[in-house]
Structure formats: structure tokens, C-alpha cells
Chains A and B, each alone.
Chain A
Amino acid sequence: RKEVEQDPGPFNVPEGATVAFNCTYSNSASQSFFWYRQDCRKEPKLLMSVYSSGNEDGRFTAQLNRASQYISLLIRDSKLSDSATYLCVVNGMGNAGNNRKLIWGLGTSLAVNP
């Protein structure tokens, strides 16, 4: 089993749609979770950290389910500018060196169409 798994998509949705991405992780001891967004040929940018209680930022909602070891990202009222790859990221666990590392999913591609 991969350490972090995501559905690669692509997800093609119309403007205004609601879309949800899920991500599973294998290490139950992981403590930090993030969603990054990456536009084509650009660097990844932090979209949201994911907290145990769930968190919302405008049209974006992130949830963490520790029992099932999955993370979700919900995008409401999709905009054309939301088209990007969304990367699920989990911190590595183990010795101190691994704690400083991020384990990356392969990303889910989203295309929002007019």
C-alpha cells in the first residue's frame, strides 16, 4: 500500500459544481496533513492545513478522519481558476528526520469547464 494515495482523476466539472477529493494515508501515527495546489509548470502552494476538527476557508473545506485514515477536500461553487492539481500531503513519522519530511500523494487533476 502506498503511503499516501489519491484518485488521480482527472475530474472534469462545470463551473459552479461541488467537487470532493479523498486521500488515504497508511501511517496511523501521522500528525500533520495538508492540501497543496499545483498549477501546470509552477511550484506547489499550500492550500490548507487539515486539522482534526475540520476546517473551512471560503469555498474550501478540509476534513480529517483519523479512524479511517483519510483526508478530504471539498470545493464548492467551482471557478475556472480552481483548475489545477491538488496534492494530498502527510508528514512522515518515525525518527526526527522523518518527522521533518512530507509524504506526497500523486495529486488529483481538476479541470473546471465553462
Chain B
Amino acid sequence: DAMVIQNPRYQVTQFGKPVTLSCSQTLNHNVMYWYQQKSSQAPKLLFHYYDKDFNNEADTPDNFQSRRPNTSFCFLDIRSPGLGDAAMYLCATSWASLAAGGSYNEQFFGPGTRLTVL
């Protein structure tokens, strides 16, 4: 089945120790997103890739970086995790077009990586 896969499902890191979360997809979608979600809050978009075009959100801290080496994979790097970065990190994909008027389709989510910072 086509899907969005995230690894690991649970990640424990120490304060200040870099961590990388991975996402892969078999949907062949051209857009990949990273969200941060804390308890009882809506998902917060960190950034997204349209193909290789990186789109950062204005309020995403520099501590968060991303890489998309190919269509199928996208990584979230947290350079120096703080206690406030403990959250669920969700990867999502969608198909979007730049045709006149654009077309926008729903996003499909991976199961998430729950990050704990000690």
C-alpha cells in the first residue's frame, strides 16, 4: 500500500544533542511537509518542499533544518534540541500543481515521531 513512513517512531535525545528524523513516501507526491505538534495543539507547519524548492515558515527557529535528497525522502534535523522541542513531529505529503489557479489536494500523514528531550 502507498504510504508515508516515519522513523524512528520514538526518539529520545539529550539537551543540545543533534537529532535527525526521517520520512519516506511511496505516494510519489511532489510536496513534503514537516509539522510539530504539541499536546492539545493543532499541527504547526515548520517548512515544506515543493519538489526541491524549500519553503520555510517565518516563525520556524533556525534550530530546525530540513533536507530532501530525492522525491521519496525528507529529513528533519534539530541541531540543538531544547526541552521546548519535545513534541510529536509529523511528516505529510500531498500533490500540488503550479498550473493557473493552482490545484490543491489533501495531505497524507505519517504516524509521527515522538521526540523526548532529557
> Are A101 and B45 CB-contacts (below 8 A) given A32-B104, A43-B90, A91-B104?
yes
Flag if A96 contacts B98 (CB, 8 Å): yes
Most buried by A among B42, B48, B50, B55: B42
Pair count A-B, CB < 8 A: 50
Flag if B102 contacts A45 (CB, 8 Å): no
Residue in chain A with minimal CB distance to B91: A43
Residue A34 CB within 8 A of the other chain: yes
Q: Restricting to B48-85, which residues have a CB under 8 Å from any CB of A?
A: 48, 50, 55
> Are A101 and B43 CB-contacts (below 8 A) given A34-B106, A91-B104?
no
Flag if B42 contacts A43 (CB, 8 Å): no
**Shortest CB distance B61–A (Å):** 18
Residue B107 CB within 8 A of the other chain: yes
Alpha-carbon separation in the docked complex, A105 to B41 (Å): 9
Contacts of A45 in B (CB 8 A): 109
Instruction: Identify the B interface with A (CB < 8 A).
Output: 31, 41-43, 45, 48, 50, 55, 88, 90, 94, 96, 98, 102, 104-112, 114
Instruction: Identify the A interface with B (CB < 8 A).
Output: 31-32, 34, 41-46, 49, 87, 91, 96-97, 99-102, 104-107
Closest 3 CB pairs of A and B: A104-B42, A43-B109, A99-B102
